[in-house]
């Protein structure tokens, strides 16, 4: 390993640890709806999914964004704060992954809003969003049948629209296939 690569790897690990601590602090006291686990376990799982699916020189930035992906939406965190602490790329990815409730109403509801939003996301943003969806559908085993049906329908609509309207990378295609596989397992 070259010195430059070693420095980047060390810098990446430090950035991931910093993002993990930040997410733990910001999500402190929050509990996931169905499994009743501390909420921060969700972004940690999303980050692990990313590590498994994405092989990139900049993967540590994606992992940081995955760890932080719900901070703007679900905690009192601003994009400005994230930019100051984690840099422009991570902050912009988290901002891109955050839902805008006003836009959601204007687009005709969450399903259409998310289908439109995912079609227009950056490639990296979409990979994180798909990893997030994969983790969410993995929670189906502890969710109510009504939620599974509703969320599954929403997810299928979003994935169908993506496959129909967007050029997808190999990583994105694998994530979509695994989301569909996970949902099929639950509906058996």
Residues labelled as active-site residues: 73-74
Q: Which residues contact 154 (CB under 8 A, 6 or more apart)?
A: 110, 111, 114
Report the distance separating Cα 151 and Cα 177, nearest Å: 17
Q: Residues 107, 100: contact at Cβ < 8 Å? A: no
Phi first, then psi, for residue 32 (nearest 5°) are -70, 145
Give the Cβ contact number of residue 91 at 10 Å.
23
Report the distance separating Cα 88 and Cα 79, nearest Å: 9
Q: Residues 115, 158: contact at Cβ < 8 Å? A: yes
Look up residue 140 and give its two tokens.
């189906």
């Amino acid at each position: 390993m070259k010195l430059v690569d070693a420095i980047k790897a060390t810098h990446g690990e430090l950035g991931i640890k910093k993002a993990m601590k930040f997410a733990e602090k910001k999500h402190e006291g929050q509990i996931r709806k169905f499994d009743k686990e501390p909420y921060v376990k969700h972004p940690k799982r999303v980050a692990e999914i990313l590590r498994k699916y994405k092989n990139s020189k900049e993967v540590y930035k994606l992992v940081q964004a995955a760890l932080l992906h719900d901070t703007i939406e679900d905690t009192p965190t601003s994009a400005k704060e994230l930019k100051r602490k984690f840099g422009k790329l991570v902050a912009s990815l988290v901002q891109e992954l955050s839902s805008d409730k006003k836009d959601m109403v204007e687009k005709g509801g969450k399903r259409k809003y998310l289908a439109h939003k995912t079609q227009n996301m950056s490639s990296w943003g979409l990979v994180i969003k798909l990893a997030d969806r994969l983790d969410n559908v993995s929670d189906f085993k502890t969710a109510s049948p009504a939620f599974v049906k509703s969320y599954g329908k929403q997810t299928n609509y979003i994935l169908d629209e993506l496959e129909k309207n967007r050029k997808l990378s190999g990583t994105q295609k694998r994530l979509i296939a695994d989301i569909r596989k996970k949902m099929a397992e639950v509906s058996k």
